[in-house]
A = this chain, B = another copy of it.
Amino acid sequence: MISKSEIKLIRSLQQKKFRKETGLFIAEGDKTARELADSDIHIEKIFARSEWRARNIHIASKEVSEKEMGQISALSTPSEVLVLARIPEQTPHWGNEKVVLMLDSIRDPGNLVTIARIADWYGLSRIFCSEDCADFYAPKTVQSTMGSIAHVRAIYGNPIEMIRQINLPVYAAMLEGAVDIHSLTKAEPCVLLIGNEGRGISPELQKIASKRIFIPGYGKAESLNAAIATGIILDNLTRLHKI
């Protein structure tokens, strides 16, 4: 059983306004639910069909009927489990990562999710996002992270202030950068700054860059997709730390 007020709350979380107001988000699907339950994301409640509960008796959950799941799900085909969880604390600080990933105005949710999966691959547990980035905690976006929502936190804020608090050198990825990423030799912790899909990094953020780095290209393409650039640069930076 699920109460009317719970249904109302969960449905409201499809809107950013209410996610912001309550600090909560929803995640659906078997794999995502199990990974979230296993993560350090704070879970408020898990609503699940009886079959899922039987398979996951070690995870505390509340039984709901098919009809109730249909009422709370944000998906056109409701899954068998829905997690009500708390959006991680939005405070920037340097958590000892080798690379701190900061996104300036990545507007496309698909790009944001791909970048989160790349961060997850390279063992980064957080991505810092300007307020105008796509919302990582929107139900459909959460859904498409394929579990990375449980490993990677998105922290939103003003990039300039976040960079000041993190206090590491800033490597800005720029098409007209001055430093070829293949020429980097020093393994220093840094902020990797990735800009908007069309406009790149905003002029005011460019000003605080310690290094303007670029990916060497040999063809006629004008640019690489922001997520591709993130993957290639993170590969280069982590390679430095490994050697």
Point out residues on A near B: beta carbons under 8 Å.
114, 117-124, 146-148, 151, 182, 215-222, 224-225, 227-229, 231-232, 235-236, 238-239, 242
A235 and B232 contact, Cβ closer than 8 Å, known pairs A120-B221, A222-B147, A225-B114: yes
Contact B224 A231 (CB under 8 A): yes
CB atoms of B235 and A119 under 8 A apart:
no
A221 and B182 form a contact (CB under 8 A):
no
Which residues of B sit under 8 angstroms from A117, Cβ to Cβ?
221, 224-225, 228
Known contacts A238-B218, A242-B182; decide if A121 and B224 are in contact (CB<8 Å).
Answer: yes
* Among B151, B217, B225, contact of A221 (Cβ-Cβ < 8 Å): B151
Question: Which chain B positions have C-beta within 8 A of A232?
Answer: 231-232, 235
User: Can you report 14 residue pairs joining A to B where beta carbons are below 8 Å apart?
Assistant: A117-B221, A117-B224, A118-B228, A122-B217, A122-B219, A123-B218, A147-B221, A151-B219, A151-B221, A182-B239, A182-B242, A215-B235, A227-B228, A228-B228
Tell me the bound Cα distance from A37 to B224 in angstroms.
Answer: 23
CA gap between A225 and B231 in the complex, in Å: 10
A120 neighbours in B (Cβ, 8 Å): 219-221
Bound-state CA distance A242–B238 (Å) is 20
Docked pose: A239 CA to B227 CA in angstroms: 20
How many angstroms between the C-alpha atoms of A151 and B121 in the bound complex?
Answer: 31
* CB-based contact A216/B242 at 8 Å: yes
**A217 and B146 within 8 A (CB):** no
- Given A182-B239, A216-B242, do A148 and B231 touch, yes or no (CB 8 Å)? no
Instruction: Report if A217-B182 is in contact (Cβ < 8 Å); known contacts: A231-B231, A236-B235.
Output: no
Min Cβ gap A146→B in Å is 7
Q: Name the CB-closest residue of B to A215.
A: B235
Q: A147-B222, A235-B235 are in contact. List 14 more A-B contacts (CB 8 A).
A: A114-B225, A114-B228, A118-B224, A118-B228, A120-B219, A121-B221, A123-B217, A123-B218, A147-B221, A148-B221, A216-B242, A228-B231, A229-B231, A231-B232
Least distance between A101 CB and chain B CB atoms (Å): 12
* Most interface-central of A182, A224, A228, A231 (chain B CB within 10 A): A228
* Residue in B closest to A220 when the chains form the complex, CB atoms: B151
